[in-house]
Structures are given as structure tokens and as C-alpha cells.
Amino acid sequence: QVQLVESGGGLVQAGGSLRLSCAASGRTFSSHAMGWFRQVPGKEREFVAAISWSSGSTYYADSVKGRFTISRDNAKNTVYLQMNSLKPEDTAVYYCAAGPGGDYGPWYDYWGQGTQVTVSS
């Protein structure tokens, strides 16, 4: 079992930055790939970024490539999402997830409760 708790969301102006954190409990954290997804009310959940268990591979949605960076610290059981050059269209609830990896949400086994990110124009 892996339990995930996101933090770091908030309100920021366009062009600003935020860093999201996702703290995991459970001994198997380091064996899971981690992903970040986001969802706007009334829309489907959207893949944002993923990182392999060893941090050797990272993947990004085209919409965030070059602006967002995913990283993880297995010693701290934490995964991060550094978000720079934020745009109003980045406004969403952001979720972290643990599982085998990839950009397809149903592949992931564990999910956090989400943290709200709001970008004002």
C-alpha cells in the first residue's frame, strides 16, 4: 500500500512559479513510477508528467514541456513538480499517483487527494 499526500498548491499570477510536493508513505514507494495529473471541473483528467522509479526517465505532456520539471527523492519518499511560467490554463486540481508509469491514469494504482493550483491572469 502507498498513501499519497499532495501539498504546495495555491494562487499565483501568470508567469509565476509553484512547487508541488507529494509525500508518500509505504515501503514500496521507490519501486513505483510516479505521475502528476490534473483535472478541471467538467473535463477529463489530464496527464502532466511522470518519472520512473530510478529517476532515469521523465515524461511530459506537450502543454507543460519546458515549463514543468518532475523529480523525486526516494530517501524522502517524495516526488516534486516544479512549475514555472505558469499560465491561466494551468489552473486545475493536481493529483500525484503511483504505479507502473506512463501517461494513462487508469494504469496507476494509488492516488492522492489533490491540491488546487489557480493561476490568475
How do residues 111-120 score in pLDDT, each as one tens digit? 999 999 999 9
Cα–Cα nearest to 4, from 22, 21, 28, 20: 22
**Among 16-20, 52-56, 95-99, 109-113, whose mean pLDDT is lowest?**
52-56
Degrees (nearest 5) of the Cα angle 81, 84, 90? 80
Other CB atoms within 10 Å distance of the CB of residue 91: 17
pLDDT digits 0-9 by tens, 20-51: 999 999 777 778 899 999 999 999 999 999 99
Q: Is 39 helix (H, G, I), strand (E, B) or coil?
A: strand
In angstroms, the CA 5 to CA 101 distance is 18
**According to DSSP H, which parts of 7-116 are helical?**
none
Amino acid symbol at 43: K
